[in-house]
Structures are given as structure tokens and as C-alpha cells.
């Protein structure tokens, strides 16, 4: 039964010094699923992703990734283990070219051998990046930078990718395009966790959804079984 | 015109040496925003290391580079990995103070071990010249400074552009968090970067020792040259270090030519002030 579990988070508490950002958060992601975490600004979504990926150190709880305990492991070790994060705000390397950004994505020894195939695959997925490969990353538009951030996170051939607010500040047409690509790579077998403020879009994409409010998970379920009323109540805490 | 040829030629050749003196400090500033006040003293440490190997093993200074350069890599790795990384954070002052402390400790350690005597890395190359015209000679030692300086900088440039580690260093300096998400152990990569900066310092130290006399307290003198070079050229830029080195050295030697040796340093700093006034970010600076 636990064989198809990709990620399991149990009773996670996270503090920023004296402030508790996450309270007893638990969630499960099955292999090959798209799971959505929605919530308003400051609900703790990014904190949760940053903690899972190892950028932040949790206070207590359990995090298991494909059966392996990764609680408190640092980000570079988690990446080597196949857990990749597309960070909030894209964070592309602005003074490196698009090509160099992608090459950095294959930094781990495991990824280096498959670099050229991964490059081909991602250039196919995002043809615009191939056209822009020699440009500095900071000359790209917001949407292109987001595609670069996603492609870069996929260069290491991860087992799971966590996406933090990939639609933030982008035009609806671009968002639609990016979601199409995310569905495409999910069809190829990659497990995806999406964090969004945009309720409609992320519920449509997901197999399972969690709603967070003030550092706690307040609602979870199959998007088709959740009523709009329920979700709105949980989202705004009314 | 003819009498200007010699100081200009010497200035160009010396510029290569100044560039390699500055490049390590400039690089580390570009990567971790560290102003390494101990850079000059670490260079002089390399000069004394070279001196020791020459006395123990009877090798020439250039041959001793094969030992001194790797040793300095580990010195740099240790200094960054175990001292400066501990205080690396949002503020610039703590790393600055650690570097200052290392500078004081090194100067006094060298004084204790080697006494305050003037030293030089003796080599027969120091007095050789290649005549290329009646009025123009190439001092062989300056030529070696220039070629090895230029060679090291080219190698460094290649390293930063083409290798995984070089790209990882640039990526980490761009965005530390994002680099960690690519699987880079950034603290470890900073230590390695300092190791590489110290390899250039080792090269600079040995060349300085072969070209000039040095004492345990000569470090700050070259630190100031390094500062001059990066201010003129632009902090963190490799092209800038090369251009800055050339400009500072030519200004110094032309100054000495026109106004006498007492004006050598003065003229260098006048150029420095002019650049600061007209282009405060340096010639190739981006800020």
C-alpha cells in the first residue's frame, strides 16, 4: 500500500524563531499524481514547500520521500535524491545564459551523464528556450523565465517536482501554456505538487487538493468532491 | 618619444603582475561580497613558502610553484571553510573583521618565523634582459610576470566559463538559494572558490618575490595595489582586473619617468582618483 506513496508529511511543525508558521501539517502525495495546495497569502504554502525541499529546517514531524526519511536534510542532498523545487519568484541565475542555467540544473553527478538528452527533451518541451539559449536569463520575459525555472528544475531528472506559484504575475495565456506543459510532463510519469493562490486553475489540474489557512491544513479531498462553497470557506476562514 | 617606450613597456608588463595580484581578491568579492583584507598577507605567505622550499630542496622559484600553488589552495579552503563561512550572513562587517584578524596573525607569524629581514626569491632571471632596440630592453623577469599573470587569468576565465564547478560558483554568487536547489553545497563551493583565489595569490606571491624584495609586513602594500586595480577596473570583473592592472602600472611608471621615483605611487593614486571621480563603478564595473 505504501509502495505508491511518493511523499508523506506527518505532523509537521515549523518555526521562524518565535513565530510558528506551520501547525501539525500532514499530507500525502501518491506516485504520478498532481497534488494542489491552495491558500491565501501567508497561509504557509511556501514555508511548507521550502521545508520539504530542505531550504528550511522543521521543528518536529516526519517527512518521508519514496520511503526514505528526509526530515531536516539540506536542499542539495534532497535534489540528489530526486526532489526538485521550482522556487517562488522563479530565481533564475540572472547573470548566466539560458543554456548555462539549464546546465546548472544537471549539476548533480547523477544528472551530468544524461545532460544532453535532458537538454534535448526540455528544448522540445519549451522551444522558446532553445531560441534564447545564448541570452542572459535576465533578458527573458516573466513567462520565459518561469519556463526556464521549470526546465532547470527538470534537468536533474527528478522523481518529483514542487512548483511554488508558477502563475504569479503572468498573463492568462502564458499560464495556460505553462499548465499544458506541466500536464504533459505529468503524463510522462512525473509527480507534481502545485502551490497556488489561483483556486480554479489548480483545482482543475489536480487529482487531490489541500487547502491551507494560517499554517494549518483546513480542508482536503478530491477536487471533484469538494464544493466551491466548502473551498471558499476554508480558503478565507469564514 | 623614444625615451617613453621603456616605461610604457615596463608598465604593460608590470600590469600583468598587478592583475594577478588583484584577481583573487576581486573574484572573492564578486562571489561572497568578501573584502579580503588578508589577501596581501596570504600572497606574502606564498612568497615565504616558496623561500622555504627553495632553501630546503634547492629548487628554483618557478619550479616551487608546483608545491606552493596546491598548498595555498588548501590554505584558502581552510580559511573560507572553517573561518569566514562561519560569519557569512547578511552583514559585511564580521567577515571583514575575520579577514583583518587573519592579516594581523599572518604578519606576526611570518615575523616570528622569518625575522624582519628583507628577502628575495633569488633567480638568475632577475637580471637578464632582451634588447629589442638601442633604447629598449625587455626585462626578462617582467616578461615572465606578464606571461604567467596573463596565463593564470586566462585559465581562471576558462574555469569559470566552462566547468561545472566554475558555473556553480557563478550561480551561487548570483542566487545562493537557487544554487542549493540545483544540488550545489554552497558553503563547500565558497571554500573551493577561496582555494582557487589563493592559487592565484600563490602565483602572485612567487612572482612578487622574484621581482621585488619582500618582508613579513609587505602584504598590505600589495593589498593596496589590489584595491587600486579593482577600483579602476571594476570589482568582480576579470576584464576589469586586467585593464586596471595595466592602467595602474603604466600610470605609476610614467609618473616615475616624468617626476622622479618618489612620484611613482603618487601618480598611480592620481589616476585612481580620476577614475573614481568620472566612473565610480570602475571601467568594467556593473553596479
Q: Is B260 in a helix, a strand, or coil?
A: coil
Query: What pLDDT shows up at residue A1?
Result: 43
Of B171, B177, B186, the CB nearest to A104: B171
Q: For the residues A35-42, what does the mean pLDDT come to?
A: 91
Q: Is B170 in a helix, a strand, or coil?
A: helix
In tens, the pLDDT along B155-196 reads 999 999 999 999 999 999 999 999 999 999 999 999 999 999
Residue B41: partners with Cβ closer than 8 Å, 6 or more residues away: B102, B103, B106, B107, B110, B219, B220, B223
Query: What pLDDT shows up at residue A217?
Result: 94
Which chain A residue is nearest to residue B177, measuring alpha carbons?
A55
Q: Do the Cβ atoms of B213 and B197 come closer than 8 Å?
A: no
Parent domain of B155: 2-277
| B287 domain residue, yes or no | no
Nearest to B232 by CA among B220, B245, B222: B245
Nearest to B75 by CA among B20, B24, B146: B24
Q: What does the CA dihedral B200, B203, B206, B211 come to, rounded to 10 degrees? A: -100
**Centroid of chain to Cα A110:** 21
| B285 domain residue, yes or no | no
Vertex A207: Cα angle to A202 and A211 (nearest 5)? 55
Q: Do the Cβ atoms of A61 and A11 come closer than 8 Å?
A: yes
Query: What's this model's pTM, rounded to 2 decimal places?
Result: 0.91
What is the C-alpha separation between A21 and B234, in angstroms, rounded?
A: 42
Task: Please say if the pLDDT value at position B242 is more than 50.
Answer: yes
| B286 domain residue, yes or no | no
| B209 domain residue, yes or no | yes
| B57 domain residue, yes or no | yes
| B283 domain residue, yes or no | no
Of B164, B168, B177, the CB nearest to A87: B177
Rounded to the nearest integer, the mean pLDDT of chain A is 93
Q: Specify the pairing of strand A68-69 against strand A60-65.
A: antiparallel
The interface residues of chain B toward chain A in range 181-200, judged by CB-CB distance below 8 A, are 181-186
What is the C-alpha separation between B196 and A41, in angstroms, rounded?
A: 43
Q: Do the Cβ atoms of A14 and A22 come closer than 8 Å?
A: yes
Q: For the residues B200-218, what does the mean pLDDT come to?
A: 96
Higher pLDDT, B29 or B1: B29
Which chain B residue is nearest to residue A156, measuring alpha carbons?
B182
What is the C-alpha separation between B195 and B188, in angstroms, rounded?
A: 11
Q: For the residues B62-90, what does the mean pLDDT come to?
A: 94
Q: Do the Cβ atoms of A31 and A24 come closer than 8 Å?
A: no
What is the C-alpha separation between B236 and A198, in angstroms, rounded?
A: 41
In tens, the pLDDT along B130-162 reads 998 888 899 999 999 999 999 999 999 999 999
Task: Please say if the pLDDT value at position B287 is more than 60.
Answer: no
| B284 domain residue, yes or no | no
ipTM of the predicted assembly exceeds 0.85: yes
| B269 domain residue, yes or no | yes
Q: Is B52 in a helix, a strand, or coil?
A: helix
Q: How many CB atoms lie under 10 A from the CB of residue A64?
A: 17
Distance of residue A223 Cα from the nearest chain B Cα, in angstroms: 30
In tens, the pLDDT along A71-129 reads 999 999 999 999 999 999 999 999 999 999 999 999 999 899 999 999 999 999 999 99
| Structural domains in chain B (count) | 1
Task: Please say if the pLDDT value at position B126 is more than 90.
Answer: no
Name all domains of chain A by residue range, CATH numbers in brackets: 5-92+158-236 (3.40.50.300)
Distance of residue A224 Cα from the nearest chain B Cα, in angstroms: 33
Amino acid at each position: 500500500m505504501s509502495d505508491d506513496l511518493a511523499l508523506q508529511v506527518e505532523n509537521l511543525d515549523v518555526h521562524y524563531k518565535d513565530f510558528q508558521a506551520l501547525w501539525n501539517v500532514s499530507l500525502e502525495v501518491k506516485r504520478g499524481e498532481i497534488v494542489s495546495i491552495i491558500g491565501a497569502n501567508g497561509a504557509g504554502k511556501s514555508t511548507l514547500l521550502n521545508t520539504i525541499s530542505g531550504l528550511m529546517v522543521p521543528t518536529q514531524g516526519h517527512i518521508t520521500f519514496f520511503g526514505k526519511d528526509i526530515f531536516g536534510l539540506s536542499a542539495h542532498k534532497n535534489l540528489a535524491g530526486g526532489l526538485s523545487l521550482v522556487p517562488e519568484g522563479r530565481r533564475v541565475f540572472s547573470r548566466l545564459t539560458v543554456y548555462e542555467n539549464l546546465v546548472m540544473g544537471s549539476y548533480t553527478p547523477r544528472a551530468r551523464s544524461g545532460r544532453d538528452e535532458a537538454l534535448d527533451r526540455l528544448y522540445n518541451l519549451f522551444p522558446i528556450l532553445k531560441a534564447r539559449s545564448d541570452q542572459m536569463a535576465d533578458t527573458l520575459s516573466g513567462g520565459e523565465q518561469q519556463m526556464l525555472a521549470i526546465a532547470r528544475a527538470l534537468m536533474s531528472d527528478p522523481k518529483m517536482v514542487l512548483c511554488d506559484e508558477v502563475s504569479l504575475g503572468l498573463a492568462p495565456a502564458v499560464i495556460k501554456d505553462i499548465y499544458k506543459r506541466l500536464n504533459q510532463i505529468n503524463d510522462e510519469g512525473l509527480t507534481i505538487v502545485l502551490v497556488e493562490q489561483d483556486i480554479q486553475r489548480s483545482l482543475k489540474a489536480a487529482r487531490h487538493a489541500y487547502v491551507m489557512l494560517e499554517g494549518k491544513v483546513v480542508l482536503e479531498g478530491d477536487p471533484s468532491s469538494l464544493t466551491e462553497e466548502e473551498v471558499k470557506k476554508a480558503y478565507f476562514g469564514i | 618619444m623614444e625615451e617613453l617606450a621603456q616605461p610604457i613597456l615596463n608598465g604593460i608588463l608590470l600590469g600583468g603582475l598587478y592583475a594577478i595580484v588583484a584577481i583573487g581578491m576581486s573574484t572573492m568579492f564578486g562571489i561572497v561580497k568578501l573584502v579580503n583584507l588578508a589577501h596581501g598577507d596570504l600572497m606574502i605567505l606564498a612568497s615565504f613558502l616558496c623561500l622555504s622550499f627553495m632553501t630546503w630542496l634547492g629548487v628554483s622559484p618557478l619550479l616551487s610553484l608546483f608545491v606552493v600553488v596546491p598548498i595555498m589552495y588548501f590554505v584558502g579552503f581552510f580559511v573560507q571553510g572553517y573561518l569566514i563561512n562561519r560569519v557569512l550572513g547578511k552583514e559585511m562587517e564580521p567577515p571583514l573583521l575575520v579577514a583583518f584578524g587573519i592579516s594581523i596573525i599572518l604578519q606576526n607569524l611570518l615575523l616570528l618565523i622569518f625575522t624582519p629581514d628583507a628577502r628575495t626569491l633569488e633567480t638568475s632571471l632577475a637580471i637578464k634582459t632582451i634588447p629589442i632596440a638601442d633604447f629598449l630592453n625587455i626585462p626578462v623577469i617582467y616578461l615572465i610576470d606578464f606571461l604567467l599573470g596573463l596565463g593564470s587569468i586566462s585559465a581562471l576565465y576558462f574555469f569559470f566559463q566552462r566547468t561545472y564547478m566554475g558555473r556553480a560558483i557563478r550561480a551561487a554568487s548570483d542566487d545562493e538559494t537557487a544554487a542549493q536547489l540545483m544540488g550545489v553545497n554552497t558553503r563547500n563551493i565558497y571554500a573551493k572558490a577561496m582555494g582557487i583565489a589563493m592559487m592565484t595569490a600563490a602565483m602572485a606571491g612567487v612572482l612578487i618575490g622574484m621581482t621585488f624584495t619582500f618582508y613579513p609586513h609587505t602584504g598590505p602594500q600589495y593589498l593596496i595595489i589590489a584595491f587600486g586595480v579593482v577600483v579602476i577596473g571594476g570589482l568582480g570583473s576579470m576584464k576589469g582586473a586586467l585593464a586596471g592592472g595595466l592602467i595602474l602600472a603604466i600610470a605609476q611608471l610614467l609618473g616615475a619617468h616624468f617626476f622622479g621615483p618618489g612620484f611613482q605611487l603618487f601618480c598611480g593614486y592620481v589616476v585612481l582618483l580620476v577614475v573614481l571621480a568620472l566612473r565610480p563603478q570602475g571601467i568594467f564595473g556593473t553596479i
